[in-house]
Each structure stands twice: as structure tokens, then as C-alpha cells.
Chains A and B, each alone.
Chain A
Amino acid sequence: MIVVNTETIAGYVVTETKGLVQGNTIRAKHLGRDFAAGLKNLVGGELRGYTELLVESRRQALERMLAQAEQLGANAVVNVRFTTSAITQGAAELYAYGTAVIVEAQQ
């Protein structure tokens, strides 16, 4: 499945538009109990645990979006966008959405 964040793909032409597809994950952080993060808060720097959590969440949101696209019979998702919303203290939603289409390689 082709995934891009542009509307058109160079070298391909969109033959059919299937519709809007989406995927999201909601993740929570337990900052108060995370000793390593507390230490990092003292000296600063990258929080690798949270970065991995973010990577995993993004991958899951994309997967859910692609599953929807497959159900619609598409072979590509264009104009993918990601947004993050803080829901409550310590919980955030990662939302991915795009347009599922059928593309063919340009002759």
C-alpha cells in the first residue's frame, strides 16, 4: 500500500477515489511514577521511553488507517495528515487521516 502526504504522486495517476480513512490511538503517560523521566527533567534531554511510545502510537494509528483503506479496496492513501490532541492531563490522542484512492503507474 502506497502512503504519501501529498495530494498527487509523481509517476502515478489517481483513477478512483474511495473516500476518507482514519486511524487513531490514545496513549497515557504516568509521569509521576516514571523515575527515569523525573531524572531527565532535572538535566534535560531526550526521553527515549516516550519517544518509543510516540513511534509505536504513530505506527498503530497508521496501521488502523491502512486497514480501513484496504477494506475499501484502495491501493494507496494520499494526503495523510497527523494531529495530536491532549485529552486530559497525561493523555493524548494521535490521529492520522487521509484519502484512500486507487492509483495506476503512469505510462
Chain B
Amino acid sequence: MALFWFQILPILFLLALAFTIGGVVERAHFRRIEQRERELGDIQRTDVRTLPAGADAELCGLVTGEVVIASDYFKTFVANFRKMIGGNLRTYESLMDRARREALLRMLDEARQKGANYVANVRFASSNIGSGSNTKRRRFAAMVEMYAYGTAYQLADVGRGAA
């Protein structure tokens, strides 16, 4: 009986640790993301290749942003159960949301550095880099790498609507 608790307790402790610290880290990250989205909100971004008709544009070049984010142990644990039932994996949806918004913000950072105020043809690509080695299968959470890239321009008059 004592041996059973001896095995269960470390896992419960790690879960509690992951839940609390992981939650704090995630919320802090989302707050930083929202703040930077407000700061970089004036840079227009589209996923169409053409610029607004009659725009006076100066090319700034290719801009990219990339990030690799891991989910926490608690989310992985919950998701493993959810996978048995099927349906929306809400715990991983926030992971992808974080990664996507962070990659986009880093791309906009580079655009800002190049003096651009418009990014055309924004594309996203992602891949799973987690659960590579199987030494401790349960321990390895979902990890996703996400990158965003586009072509940055400096438009003389950004006010006009997109094409």
C-alpha cells in the first residue's frame, strides 16, 4: 500500500508543479504577446501577393519569424487521456495559438527594423519536433516549431484598404 503511494506521489507532485508554474508561464507569455500585438498593430499584414492598387511602395525584403514552444507536463497528461476519447484537444489549441502569434510578432519585429509598414504574402509553416526519442515517452510533451515569413514593403500611404 505504501509502495503504491510512493509511486503515485512523485507523479502527482510533478503534475501540480506543471499545472501551477506552467499556467503562470503561459499567462505571462500571453500578456506579453497581447502587449506586443498592440505595439506592432500599425504594421499591416496580408496573405495576398498584390499590393493595394496604386500604392507607392518601396521594397524592404523577406522577413521571417520563428519560435519553438513546448507544452507543459500537465497539458500533455490531460491530452493523453483526451486522445483516447477523441475530439478537440483544447489544451494543445492554446499551444498552437501561442506559437503562431509569437512567430508572427517576431516577423513583424524584423519588418519594423527594416522600416516597413506593410507585409504581403504572409505564410505560416509548422512541424512537430516533440516525442522524438522514446526513452521516457510520457515525459516528452508536445513541442511545435512555427515560422512565419512574408515580403515587407514601406508604403507611402498605408491608409488605403487592401487589394
Contacts and interface: CB of A to CB of B under 8 A. Distances in A.
Contacts of B18: 42-44
A6 B72 CA distance: 37
A11 B62 contact: no
B115 interface: no
Interface residues of A, number: 39
- Chain B interface size band reads 35 or more
Contacts of A5: 62, 121, 123, 149-151
Given A32-B135, A47-B68, 19 more contacts: A3-B61, A6-B120, A10-B51, A11-B57, A11-B59, A31-B130, A32-B133, A37-B143, A42-B72, A44-B70, A44-B95, A55-B66, A84-B127, A86-B127, A89-B133, A89-B134, A90-B132, A90-B133, A92-B127
Contact of A40 (B55, B59, B70): B70
Interface in B30-52: 49-51
Contacts of B121: 5-6
Interface of B: 14, 17-18, 21-22, 25-26, 29, 49-51, 55, 57-59, 61-62, 64, 66-73, 75-76, 95, 102, 120-121, 123, 125-130, 132-135, 139-141, 143, 145, 147, 149-151, 153
Contacts of A37: 70, 143
